[in-house]
Structure 1
């Protein structure tokens, strides 16, 4: 029995979380969601996701700090991490890559954009 590939979507916009959840579930991934930076770690411990889509500007703990903490954790350091933001400069993109982001997406985007990035990084879920 294979483990279903899980994606954790973290954003304080419920509309974006809903749209991304629908896209990833339709593609066959298991999906979890968190609405702030503190909730991320509880969800990661419970779900052990292969990929995390993470908004940069969130309440409680921002996405950059979450990224640093995830990448410093021995069990999660290889987790594919996508940072997302509407406000991001080229200089910030370089900094986010240095702290461990595997992909950086500028909002708005169609759900297919992060879906394709995750699919390339962790593979498509197995049918079944």
Structure 2
């Protein structure tokens, strides 16, 4: 089993998944991806990621639902959670922070900024 840090990237946009996967892999992280809110839980169970980057507006389960369920789970409640959205109001920002989001990134953003944010919170992967 790898001792690299693992990041789960969840978005219904393949372009965003590809950009974040490339940036995190280049930085030495192991990356697992999912395309909708329901898939998150299967991936969480199998990958046990150090951090989760989660799009708020997705099919099946949206970011608020996923956030609630993750933070209610005894093992996953401490997983570093970054929500991503292209449209979010100040009221929604407050709500997501109350639900347990550690950070919220407004799209579009530079994927290297997401890597730096996660690195500060969970640590950088060991050098190869």
Q: TM-score range by the shorter chain?
A: over 0.9
CA distance in 2, matches of 1:124, 1:23: 13
Q: CA deviation at 1:2?
A: 6.8
> Which runs of structure 1 show a deviation greater than 6 angstroms over 4 or more consecutive aligned residues?
none
The reply on whether 1:7 has 2:7 as its aligned counterpart is: yes
**TM-score, with length taken from structure 1:** 0.97
The RMSD of aligned alpha carbons is 1.1
Q: Aligned ranges for residues 1-128 of structure 1 at < 5 Å?
A: 3-128=3-128
Q: In the aligned structure 2, how far is the partner of 1:13 from the partner of 1:36?
A: 10
What is the distance in 1 between the residues matched to 2:68 and 2:88? 17
Tell me how far apart the structure 2 counterparts of residues 60 and 2 of structure 1 sit (CA, whole Å).
31
- Partners of 2:72 and 2:4 in 1: how far apart? 25
CA displacement, residues 58-117 of structure 1 (integer Å, 9 cap, x when unaligned):
000001110111111000010000000001011110110000000001000010121111
C-alpha distance in 2 between matches for 1:4 and 1:115: 14
How many residue pairs get aligned? The number is: 128
TM-score, with structure 2 as normaliser: 0.97
Unaligned runs of 5+ in 1: none
